[in-house]
């Protein structure tokens, strides 16, 4: 079963799951998590300045968590940053997410460069 601890999803199952949530506002987050293996806190800490779409890579340089309603930023689990390669499909997903986020940000006060926010 997919929900068993340690279950490994096949490529077909992963595509089906991502296809079902394609229009969800956090689709880019889920796509990045699935295709890079980055941790939730690392993706929440990701800034557009750490994403190189032309170079097809992202730099994971920290982690973010929420403790008692407050955002806490810190180091990655290993304490080191790392560069992850991304494929063409992921580049396309991120380009679409960035465009939607930029369109929405004109009505939002938050503009800290966060790539994976609840707001696009």
Share in percent of the chain as helix, strand, coil (round to 5): 40, 20, 40
Residue where the block lists tokens 């079902």:
20
Q: Is the pLDDT of residue 9 over 80?
A: no
pTM of the model as a whole: 0.79
Q: Exposed, middle or buried, 33 (CB in 10 Å: 0-12/13-18/19+)?
A: middle
3 has a pLDDT exceeding 70: no
Band of pLDDT at residue 31, cut at 50, 70 and 90: very high
Percent of the chain with pLDDT over 70: 84
The fraction of the chain above a pLDDT of 90, given in percent, is: 49
* Per-residue CA distances from 61 to 37, 68, 80, 88 (Å): 14, 23, 7, 22
What average pLDDT does the segment 68-79 reach?
82
Q: According to the model, what pLDDT value does residue 118 have?
A: 56
Question: How would DSSP label each residue in 71-115?
Answer: EEEE--TTSS-EEEE--HHHHHHHHHHHHHHHHHHTT-S--S-BS
């Amino acid at each position: 079963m997919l929900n068993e601890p340690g279950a490994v999803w096949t490529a077909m199952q992963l595509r089906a799951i991502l296809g079902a949530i394609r229009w969800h506002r956090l689709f880019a987050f889920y796509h990045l998590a699935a295709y890079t293996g980055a941790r939730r806190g690392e993706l929440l800490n990701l800034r557009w300045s750490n994403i190189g779409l032309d170079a097809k890579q992202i730099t994971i340089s920290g982690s973010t968590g929420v403790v008692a309603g407050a955002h806490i930023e810190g180091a990655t689990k290993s304490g080191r940053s790392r560069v992850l390669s991304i494929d063409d499909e992921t580049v396309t997903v991120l380009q679409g997410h960035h465009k939607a986020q930029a369109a929405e940000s004109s009505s939002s006060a938050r503009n800290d460069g966060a790539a994976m926010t609840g707001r696009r």
